[in-house]
């Protein structure tokens, strides 16, 4: 259907059903109110869907010019524009898909003129009303009219310049007010540009000139480093993408910074008010309400959340395999702000569903991961695991606030002391580690869970003149335990009474009450 046929069809519909036309005017007003302060973002999104790389806005008197260099309008585009909730866009392939976003601009314009390819058209309530006088009210964007020559001449100084700059589609809004424009610009968040597919440069010429440029560096098929230059104010980002989901890390001086919980928002290509629950931004094909501000947890959103959970878990599993400072920062940013065990008691929310998705991935790595027990230092534990060929991670990851809670939630378990004794290699232990094992052995003997047999007495854990000896060695050679080592035993949880009790069971007599010297009886 060409523009003449489309115009005739829309006029016939309106003339035969003026009440329906009035209802459409009400719907248009509702959309404009729902999209309050987001109209420019919608136009930016539409330009990106058209493959534009540049987006420019010029405020001149009562006119606002918005131009992009994307694909020019075709007949199908024009019909989608005129009809409510009619769009030829495919969800997942484009950012917009409802066909109502453009209706949001009626909140700040009396007339809209469009120049794109061979199309030169005007949307005007006044002109529509004159053709359908029996309608109580009419929508702005419904019936296309031809662009008056005098209007075209009035706009030409700027439109011609834009066309010479290779802009292909130009929207001109007339009757705009300064206050409305400032509200739109003040609400514009440059991070909205981050998840666009094509646009890399925006220019705003209003009372204040603003220019934003995006530079991208492809690190791998799934990783991009991105810099947003907003009038000389730079923000750096590192993006990981898979299955139409993107995790965005904030960078400062090239180093990943965990974002605050209030700034870690979820994007449906445009920012919502939902928080991610992690120290990153998350973008995906989420369903939202008409305002685009709140995620609706329908099947599409839930499926996308699962993809995000899978991406996050893959990143964590990949990074914990090798330790370096960047991997540490990447994992730190992905640790939830709330304990995962507490989230299960919350009502349905994005962060709750995201964490549940992590667990439902059934991570094989975390299920085989054994965590350092809280009585042993992480360094010694890591060395013991490596020596015995068991899966381990660098102890510095364990020091990240919240990592252990997340690991346990994903299936990791604290290692069992009796199992550790089976592969205990005392040559790998530091003096502190030796003292910590001694404490557990002594407590096991006192509780009755360990018998003071040769298996226990044979571990070389006691320090004498910087060398390691077992209780059997000490007894046979009448050696004296270093005072500092006894102090470590006490500092790590043993009392004088407990030490006396164990030595008594092992037929070892304490010489004095300070526990500094021991004499061994046969």
CA distances in angstroms from 148 to 58, 129, 140, listed in the order given: 21, 17, 17
Q: Where do runs of H (alpha helix) occur along 136-202?
A: 149-164, 178-186
Give dist(CA 450, CA 248) in Å, integer.
51
Residue with tokens 């013991």: 384
| pLDDT (tens place) for every residue of the chain, 522 residues total | 588 899 999 999 888 888 888 888 887 777 766 666 567 777 888 899 899 999 999 988 889 899 999 999 988 888 888 886 444 444 344 434 334 657 767 767 789 999 999 999 999 999 999 999 888 899 888 999 999 999 999 999 999 999 999 999 999 988 876 566 666 666 677 887 888 889 988 888 877 778 888 998 989 888 999 999 988 889 999 999 998 899 999 999 999 999 999 999 999 888 899 999 999 999 999 999 877 789 999 999 999 999 999 999 999 999 998 999 999 999 999 999 999 988 878 899 999 999 999 999 999 899 988 888 889 998 888 888 877 767 778 878 988 999 999 999 999 998 888 888 888 888 889 999 999 999 999 999 899 888 877 777 788 999 998 899 988 887 778 778 888 898 999 999 999 888 888 888 877 654 443 344 444 333
Tally of CB atoms within 10 A around 298: 10
- At residue 56, φ and ψ (nearest 5 deg) are -135, 140
- Report the candidate in 104, 85, 27, 73 with the shortest Cα–Cα distance to residue 270: 104
Contact partners, residue 209, CB within 8 Å, separation at least 6: 203
Helix or strand run (H / E) with residue 79: helix 75-82
- Predicted pLDDT of residue 340: 92
Contact 355, 409 (CB under 8 A): yes
Question: DSSP secondary-structure letter at 17?
Answer: -
Give dist(CA 66, CA 52) in Å, integer.
12
Question: DSSP secondary-structure letter at 407?
Answer: H
**Cβ-based burial of 351 (10 A; exposed 0-12, middle 13-18, buried ≥19):** buried
- Predicted pLDDT of residue 86: 46
Residue 251: both structure tokens together: 């960078």
Give dist(CA 373, CA 443) in Å, integer.
15
- Predicted pLDDT of residue 371: 87
Give dist(CA 130, CA 139) in Å, integer.
13
Q: Which domains does the chain have, with CATH numbers?
A: 3-187 (3.30.565), 213-361 (no CATH), 416-520 (no CATH)
- Report the candidate in 433, 464, 463, 450 with the shortest Cα–Cα distance to residue 506: 450
Handedness of CA 226, 44, 172, 294 (dihedral sign): negative
Say whether 427 sits in a helix, a strand or coil: helix
Dihedral angle computed from the Cα positions of residues 285, 290, 296 and 302, in that order, rounded to the nearest 10 degrees:
-20
The pTM of the full predicted model, rounded to 2 decimals, is 0.76
- Report the candidate in 238, 201, 200 with the shortest Cα–Cα distance to residue 219: 238
Distance from chain centroid for Cα 384: 35
CA distances in angstroms from 501 to 496, 505, 509, listed in the order given: 9, 6, 10
Distance from chain centroid for Cα 392: 27
Residue 106: both structure tokens together: 């009626």
Residue 190: both structure tokens together: 């440059």
Give dist(CA 62, CA 66) in Å, integer.
13
Tally of CB atoms within 10 A around 348: 8
Say whether 465 sits in a helix, a strand or coil: coil
- At residue 273, φ and ψ (nearest 5 deg) are -95, -5
Contact partners, residue 473, CB within 8 Å, separation at least 6: 460, 462, 479
Tally of CB atoms within 10 A around 331: 23
Give dist(CA 428, CA 441) in Å, integer.
18
């Amino acid at each position: 259907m060409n523009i003449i046929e489309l115009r005739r069809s829309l006029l016939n519909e309106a003339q035969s059903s003026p009440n329906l036309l009035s209802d459409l005017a009400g719907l248009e007003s509702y959309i404009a109110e729902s999209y309050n302060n987001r109209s420019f973002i919608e136009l930016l999104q539409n330009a990106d869907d058209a493959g534009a790389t540049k987006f420019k806005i010029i405020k001149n008197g009562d006119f606002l010019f918005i131009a992009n260099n994307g694909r020019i309008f075709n007949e199908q585009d024009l019909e989608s524009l005129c009809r409510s909730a009619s769009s030829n866009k495919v969800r997942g392939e484009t950012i917009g898909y409802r066909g109502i976003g453009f209706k949001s601009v009626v909140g700040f314009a009396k007339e809209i003129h469009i120049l794109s390819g061979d199309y030169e058209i005007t949307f005007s309530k006044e002109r529509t009303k004159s053709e359908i006088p029996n309608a109580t009210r009419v929508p702005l964007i419904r019936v296309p009219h031809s662009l008056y020559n005098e209007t075209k001449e009035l706009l030409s100084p700027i439109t011609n310049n834009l066309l010479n700059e290779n802009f292909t589609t130009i929207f001109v809004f007339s009757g705009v007010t300064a206050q409305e424009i400032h509200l739109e610009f003040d609400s514009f968040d440059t991070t909205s540009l981050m998840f666009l597919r094509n646009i890399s440069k925006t220019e705003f010429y209003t009372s204040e000139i603003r220019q934003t440029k995006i530079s991208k560096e492809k690190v791998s098929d799934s990783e991009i480093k991105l810099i947003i230059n907003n009038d000389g104010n730079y923000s750096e980002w590192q993006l990981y993408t898979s299955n139409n989901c993107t995790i965005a890390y904030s960078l400062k001086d090239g180093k990943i910074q965990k974002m605050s919980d209030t700034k870690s928002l979820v994007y449906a290509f445009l920012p919502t008010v939902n928080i991610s629950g992690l120290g990153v931004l998350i973008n995906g094909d989420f369903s939202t309400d008409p305002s685009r501000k709140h995620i609706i947890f329908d099947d599409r959103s839930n499926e996308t959340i699962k993809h995000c959970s899978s991406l996050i878990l893959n990143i964590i599993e990949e990074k914990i395999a090798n330790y370096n400072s960047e991997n540490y920062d990447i994992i730190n940013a992905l640790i939830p702000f709330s304990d995962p065990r507490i989230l299960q008691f919350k009502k349905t929310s994005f962060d709750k569903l995201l964490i549940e998705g992590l667990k439902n991935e059934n991570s094989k790595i975390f299920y085989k991961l054994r965590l350092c027990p809280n009585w042993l230092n992480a360094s010694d534990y890591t060395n013991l695991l490596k020596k015995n060929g068991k899966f381990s991670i660098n102890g510095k990851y364990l020091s990240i606030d919240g990592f252990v809670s997340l690991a346990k939630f994903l299936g990791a378990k604290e290692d069992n002391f009796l199992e550790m004794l089976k592969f205990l290699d005392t040559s790998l232990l530091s003096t502190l580690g030796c003292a910590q094992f001694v404490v557990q052995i002594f407590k096991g003997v006192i509780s009755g869970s360990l018998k003071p047999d040769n298996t226990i007495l044979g571990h070389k854990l006691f320090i004498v003149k910087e060398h390691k000896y077992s209780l059997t060695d000490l007894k046979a050679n009448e050696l004296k335990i270093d005072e500092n080592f006894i102090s470590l035993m006490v500092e790590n949880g043993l009392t004088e009474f407990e030490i006396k009790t164990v030595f008594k069971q092992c037929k070892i007599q304490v010489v004095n009450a300070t526990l500094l010297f021991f004499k061994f009886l046969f």
